[in-house]
Amino acid sequence: MFKYYHDDCFKILPIIEDNSIDSIIIDPPYITTSESWDKEEVVNELLSEQLFRIAKQSSSLYVWCGIGEKSNSLCRWLPIFSKHWHFKDLITWKKQRGLGNKKGWLYTREECMWFVKDNKKFFWNEKEQYDKKDKRLFTMPNNKSEYKRYTNVWTDIEEESGSMKSSRFHFTQKPVELIERCIKLSTIEDQTVLDCFGGSGTTAVACANTKRNCILIDKNICDIKQSSFYNIPWVDIAKQRVATILNTNKLTEYDKKKLCSLF
């Protein structure tokens, strides 16, 4: 089940049932660029309260954010969400490319705050907490797996290409694998994930890949003039991205080529 809303999340969240969402992953505007969608502070107590209301007791909330001179959203948002949610941990995503000027450290990180609704009842998928690409050199009797566990510093996932002519759909698009990790660790198949700042639909794509349901909300349109998706609502782009995953086996060869040519 995939639901898409081209609308303001503050209009849609109130109509979602209490205690109905298994996990929430959001990447709100950091207010660090000149893009039209990145000029308004959207994180406030009302947002935190609504997300808390619709989340199940076992739910996790992942909030992507930044820390630094130009991106201090972590400092702004942590106190807001902490009024309702239990702060659990801070994940650091180590990027491969650095940004910055000549005077100062290169910016090569992005943060994700992990909250849970109930610290005693939150769900954690232990089967997914091991990195199947990082095998232990040797195992001890008390080791539960031959693989190493994920830590709260992620260095193994590369960011999307920076070229507007690449496969990237959004200026600040997250890699699908990044979102899949959050989903796999905090939900199981057929559960529901919500993203109320859905952008071009990476969370929905990750849900399709992992057999989860998804509710995606975004009020903006694509404003990348170099993109063939220019002026198209982000949620419509998300629908097409998910369609390539869910329907590929049902399409004719002509339809497959037509659909894939969009990307």
DSSP string, 36-52: GGGSS----HHHHHHHH
d(CA 206, CA 2): 12
Residue 225 CB contacts under 8 Å (≥ 6 apart), including other chains: none
N-terminal to C-terminal alpha carbon distance within the chain: 23
What CATH number does the domain located at 2-260 have?
Answer: 3.40.50.150
User: How is residue 175 written in tokens?
Assistant: 């890699």
10-residue mean pLDDT profile of the chain (263 residues): values are 94 97 95 71 95 98 89 92 98 83 82 97 94 64 74 90 50 88 97 95 94 95 72 86 73 41 38
d(CA 24, CA 134): 27
- pLDDT at 164 (0 to 100): 38
SS3 79: helix
Structural contact between residues 189 and 2, judged by C-beta atoms closer than 8 angstroms: no
- pLDDT at 251 (0 to 100): 41
**What Rg do the C-alpha atoms of the chain give, in angstroms?**
19
pTM of the predicted structure, to 2 decimals: 0.86
Q: From the centroid of its chain, how far is CA 261?
A: 25
φ, ψ of residue 180 to 5 degrees: the values are -60, -35
Listed in sequence order, the DSSP H helices in the chain are 9-12, 45-54, 73-82, 176-186, 202-210, 234-246, 253-260
Antiparallel, parallel or unpaired: β 86-99 and 107-116: antiparallel
- pLDDT at 44 (0 to 100): 96
Q: In sequence order, what E strands does the chain have? A: 2-5, 21-26, 55-65, 86-99, 107-116, 130-135, 147-149, 153-154, 192-195, 213-217
